Amino acid sequence: MPGDFAIWIFIFAELLVFGVAFVTYSVVRLQHLEMFNHYQLTLNRAFGAINTALLITASYFVVRAVQSIHHDRVRQCIVWLYLALGCGMGFLILKSLEFHQKFSHGIGLGSNTFYMFYLSLTFFHFMHVILGMIILLAVAIKAKQGHYSAQNPVGVETGASYWHMVDLVWIILFPLVYIIR
């Protein structure tokens, strides 16, 4: 397994939680089909699609960072990591705008079942993006301090694995909550 084995236990646990949440959303949607279809139209699908592109691009940059460290190109690795962080920041800004739009219309967790799921799932994922960015930033700083090389890429691989998990989850969350009706 690439990276530290402990991160994979964490990743499996996170995937289990998100998996249960997605299945719960689908089952509850069955009982409130009209409501879910109606309120889903109020979501900003363009923001959702751009955010998907940002996360996929960030993941691509992280892959390039891992490739760079495997070739002992530390400076390149750091640049790719900061580019990925830039995409992550773009995601956070767009998502914050989306949350602001909803909150300014008085929409909250208690508004209805659809918004409860929408806000819970996306905010929970939002927190994971923040954690992923903190990890990538820590990896970039440690890389600059000379902690990683082609002989010791484990730290970069560990951060990368976590970031890819965040991307993987969003790839299902986006069509499930924003598109499928």
Partner 1 sequence: MNRLYNVHTLWLVMLALTLSTYLMGRLGLHGLGIVGFLLATSVIKGTFIIRDFMALRGVSLLWRVIMYGWLWGVCLTILLCYWLGVRSW
Binding residues for partner 1, rule: CB under 8 A, are: 1-2, 8, 12, 15-16, 19, 22-23, 26-27, 29-30, 33, 45-46, 48-49, 52-53, 56-57, 59-60, 62-64, 66-67, 157, 160-161, 164-165, 167-168, 171-172, 174-176, 178-181
Min dist. Cβ of residue 105 to partner 1 (A): 21
Min dist. Cβ of residue 101 to partner 1 (A): 18
Min dist. Cβ of residue 167 to partner 1 (A): 6
* Whole-Å CA distances, 154 to 3, 7, 10, 23, 82: 5, 11, 16, 33, 18
CA gap 110, 54 in Å, rounded = 30
- Pick the closer one to partner 1 by CB: 97 or 180: 180
Location of structure tokens 């992923």: 132
Min dist. Cβ of residue 161 to partner 1 (A): 6
CA gap 15, 87 in Å, rounded = 22
- Pick the closer one to partner 1 by CB: 46 or 109: 46
* Whole-Å CA distances, 110 to 25, 27, 104, 105, 116: 16, 19, 15, 13, 6
